[in-house]
Structure 1
Amino acid sequence: MTAPIGYHAVVRVDTDEGISGWGEAPAGISWGGPHGRYCGESPKTVRHVIAGHLIEAIKGLDPRDIAVIHRTMDRTVKGNPYAKAALDMACYDIAGKAADVPVYRLLGGAFRDRIEVAHSLGIMPVEKCVDEAVMAVEEGAKTLKCKTGLDPQRDVQVVRKLRERLGSDIRIRVDGNEGYRTVWEAIDVTRRQEEYGILLCEQPLMDNRQLAQVAERIDCPVMADESAWTVHDILELHALKAAACFSCYVTKPGGLYRARQQADIAGALGMYSDIGGSIESGIGNAANLHLGAASEIAILPSVSPVSKPEGAAGPSVAGVYYLDDLITEPFRFEDGCVLVPDGPGLGIEVDTDKLKKYAAP
């Protein structure tokens, strides 16, 4: 993925009763599904699709009628799930505020009030990666997610160094982001990483049939991310025995409504998930946290940011990816977990001055 993080589309939907809802689309133009199944979106395409098509289509509908809104959006525009997800978030935010309940209540209630943070370590020199991991662990992180897939030798070395430095109590996930050249390379690297103890292997290759070949030949679970956008993807992954779990988040399927459907189907098939994302601001992160609270199968440590405005209390490394945020109050971080906002709607207040400050030209 070459699109920069932090360049996102933000939407506000206003109602005739004076209630406004917020949504976010962390769209990346180079991000999509296997074999061109899902095309990349960008903040500019999201703006075009919403302003030029979707907002007019749903104007006059009740934001609480979320199934009707999704049917209308799908009949109006094919694909473009990130654009639809931004509007879906805003509608749920409005509905929650109108009913004076958190969004997770609208999704069926909370199985948990917090999500364990897996601190994400990007592609960087091994020693720098280890140093960042140590700081994250010192602040309370208990799980690390290591980006891999570009250099097999480095991918094994970084897991070994992390394990040597941090001991056996810290969980390590690896994420190849479809980077390995062949099934056999993915198998070889993962087996060598398994010698040092890894929690799971995320999306080492693009193709689902290739994932199934890897899953059959390694010991740790395979997680699907780029391969798991829709309910139909979940059914295919299960049929091929390609993944034991998947990364469930709001934007890939097109919103909270569709993500909840994904989670329910996956649960019925015996699969489980984390709560993924694309390093959203506090707006999109809040939506993902509500999804995680309401999804029974969301049991894995997740790359859920500890969103906080500049200068606010909280960790400086663990779960922190931006120097500032669009929300006015920080998310709480306790015992390695980020707490789900419990106010009405998404449970956040957006700093509109920050929106103006950070708006792209």
Structure 2
Amino acid sequence: MKIKAIEMYGYKLSYAHGEYVMSGGRAATHQDSTLVRIITDSGLEGWGETATLSGTYLPTFCGSTRASIEELAPALIGEDPRNINHINRLMNGRLLGQYNAKSAIDTACWDIFGRSVGLPISTLLGGVQQEQFPLYEAVPLASPDAMAEYVTSRGAAGVRRFQLKVGNDPHEDAERVREVMNAAEEDMIVIADSNGGWSLQSGIIAVRLMDDLDIYVEQPCRETADCAIVKSMTHLPLVMDESVVTSADLYRAKYEAKAGSINIKLGRVGGITGAVRMRDQAQDLGIDFCIEDMWGGDVISAAVAHVAASSSPESLMHASFFNDWTNEHVAGYQPRSLNGMGSAPTGPGLGIEVDLSVLGEPLASFR
């Protein structure tokens, strides 16, 4: 089997709850998403998706992602998409980093691999370890009352895991978190996520103001070294995210920052292959993790579902289905959450079918 063509599509994913707001004035009503379609000479095809939170979340943005795909795709024509390690080796030999672009291609190759053998990706990853797994939702940065109301409303829909967006003034952030905790039910897990928005001093102030609360603190500062200093000032458990890209970063997260859990985003580590590698390392290190991505729709949600379902239940904190957060659906709003829980599709490959009619013409095509 050989790759005959690669097509790239773009579409906008609007936030289902109005405006998505993070620290430092980062706010948007929608984000651009990029889909990759790999077509083989056997007639099989696979899909991958990648999206960013503008250009200030990680050192990537929609334009760089699409330019990177244009650079990578021609080098893959004629290759066997099922030889995924070789595909990743070719991509890494072509471009340093650019994991967000590589993620979409990697996922599409896994989709083809699964379809070629008639098995879901979760089976190829070692099998489903949990038929259902908890999902979390992010709470956009807003007034304390509005954030508490969001948690109450989504809690009524069955969601039990929440990631509160903080990272501005530490005193105001502490007020937001306390208001949410007053409204939260006993079985809810709450994470205060700065997205690296606090300075070192602000992070120290914030955790000291919240040290008595039953919460997690996520990525208080941009650099792991600063997060380690903040962690030394608090008893609150630490979650690391944006600064963990490589295996070396993962070790630093545990042994330097004293983090007990990490967020693994497919687009940050190069797709399903990179996410599974880091997940397995985290399991071996006794680190809990969340499986998710930066943004996305049905295709990203399906990829996340397969990695999450094949993860150890003792290590997986939760996952995200971004197609619950967004309005547009290219695969019939599949996979679908139920009462705050997710599950992996059971069909071959990703287990979903992308509707070409909703996408229009490709942005670029390579043959």
Normalised by the shorter chain, which TM-score bucket?
Answer: 0.7 to 0.9
Determine which of 43, 49, 70 is the counterpart of 2:62. 43
Deviation of the 1:65 alpha carbon? 0.8
For residues 21-79 of structure 1, the C-alpha deviation after alignment (integer angstroms, 9 at most, x for no partner) is 111111342232xxxxxxx222322222222x211212122111111111111111111
Q: Which amino acid aligns with 2:321?
A: S
Distance 2:290 2:261 in 1: 8
- Whole-angstrom CA distance in 2 between matches of 1:197 and 1:354: 44
Q: Which residue of 2 aligns with 1:316?
A: none
> Are positions 1:339 and 2:343 aligned together?
yes
Aligned residue for 1:347, secondary structure, equals coil
Per the alignment, residue 80 of structure 2 pairs with: 62
- The alignment's TM-score, normalised by the length of structure 2, stands at 0.85
1:94 aligns with 2:112: yes
Map residues 148-159 of structure 1 onto 2, 5 A cutoff: 148-159=166-177
Q: 2-side partners of 1:244 and 1:287: how far apart?
A: 24
In structure 2, which of residues 49, 68, 90 is the aligned counterpart of residue 72 of structure 1? 90
Would you say the 8 A contact 2:345–2:352 is kept in 1?
yes
CA contact (8 A) 1:248 1:273 kept: yes
Do 2:139 and 2:147's aligned partners in 1 also have CA atoms closer than 8 Å? yes
After TM superposition, the structure 1 stretch with the greater mean CA deviation from structure 2, 141-150 or 159-168, is 159-168
Equivalent position of 2:125 in the other structure:
107
Deviation of the 1:357 alpha carbon: 9.8
- Which residue pairs with 1:125 in the alignment? 143
Kindly state the Cα deviation for residue 191 of structure 1 after the two structures are TM-superposed. 3.4
Q: Tell me whether 1:22 sits opposite 2:47 in the alignment.
A: yes
One of 279, 297, 302 as aligned partner of 1:281: 297
| Counterpart for residue 164 of structure 1 | 182
* Structure 1 unaligned residues grouped into runs of 5+: 33-39, 308-319
CA distance 1:125–1:332, change in 2 (3 Å): same
Match of 1:219 in 2: 235
Equivalent in 207, 210, 219 of residue 193 of structure 1: 210
Task: Identify the range of structure 1 (245-254 vs 215-224) with the bigger mean alpha-carbon deviation.
Answer: 215-224
- In structure 2, what is the equivalent of residue 245 of structure 1? 261
What is the aligned partner in structure 1 of residue 353 from structure 2?
349
Count how many residue pairs are aligned between Structure 1 and Structure 2: 336
Residue of 314, 320, 325 corresponding to 1:321: 325
What root-mean-square deviation, in Å, do the aligned CA atoms of Structure 1 and Structure 2 show? 2.1
Give, in whole Å, the separation in 1 of the partners of 2:356 and 2:145.
39
Q: How does 1:297-316 map to 2 (within 5 A)?
A: 298-305=315-322, 307=323
What secondary structure, in the 3-state scheme, does the structure 2 residue paired with 1:8 have?
strand
- Kindly provide the amino acid, as one letter, of the partner of residue 66 in structure 2: R
2:15 paired with 1:11: no
Provide closer, same or farther for how the CA distance between residues 257 and 144 of structure 1 changes in structure 2, counting only shifts above 3 A: same
The answer on whether the counterparts of 1:149 and 1:175 sit within 8 Å (CA) in structure 2 is yes
Counterpart contact for 1:279–1:304, Cα < 8 Å = no
Post-superposition CA distance 1:179-217 (Å, at most 9, x none): 1122x432332233242321x111001121211122223
CA distance in 1, matches of 2:287, 2:204: 22
Separation in 2 of the partners of 1:8 and 1:234? 27
Unaligned runs of 5+ in 2: 1-21
Cα shift at 1:144 = 1.4
Q: Is the 8 A contact 2:309 2:343 kept in 1?
A: no
Q: Is contact 2:238-2:260 (8 Å) kept?
A: yes
Tell me the secondary structure at the aligned position of residue 326 of structure 1: coil
Partner of 1:311: none
Q: 2:154 aligns with which of 127, 136, 143?
A: 136
Structure-2 change in CA distance of 1:253 and 1:163 (3 Å) = same
Q: Give the match's secondary structure for 1:105.
A: helix
- Structure 1 residue 162 displacement after superposition: 1.6
Q: Per residue, is there more strand in 1 or in 2? A: 2
State whether residues 25 and 43 of structure 1, in contact with CA within 8 Å, keep that contact through their aligned partners in structure 2. no
Say which structure, 1 or 2, has more relative contact order (CA 8 Å, 6+ apart): 2
Given that 2:160 and 2:189 are in contact with CA atoms closer than 8 Å, whether structure 1 keeps it comes out as yes
Match of 2:12 in 1: none
Structure 1 CA distance for aligned equivalents of residues 79 and 362 of structure 2: 31
For the Cα contact (< 8 Å) 1:208–1:242, is it kept in 2? no
Indicate whether 1:268 and 2:284 are aligned: yes
CA distance in structure 1 between the partners assigned to 2:185 and 2:310 by the alignment? 33
**1:347–1:171 CA distance, 2 compared to 1 (3 A):** same
Contact 2:297 2:328 in 1 (8 A): no
CA distance in 2, matches of 1:322, 1:142: 19
For the 8 Å contact 1:119–1:141, the answer to whether it is kept is yes
**1:68-121: per-residue Cα shift (whole Å, max 9, x none)?**
111111111111111111100000001111111111112122221233111210
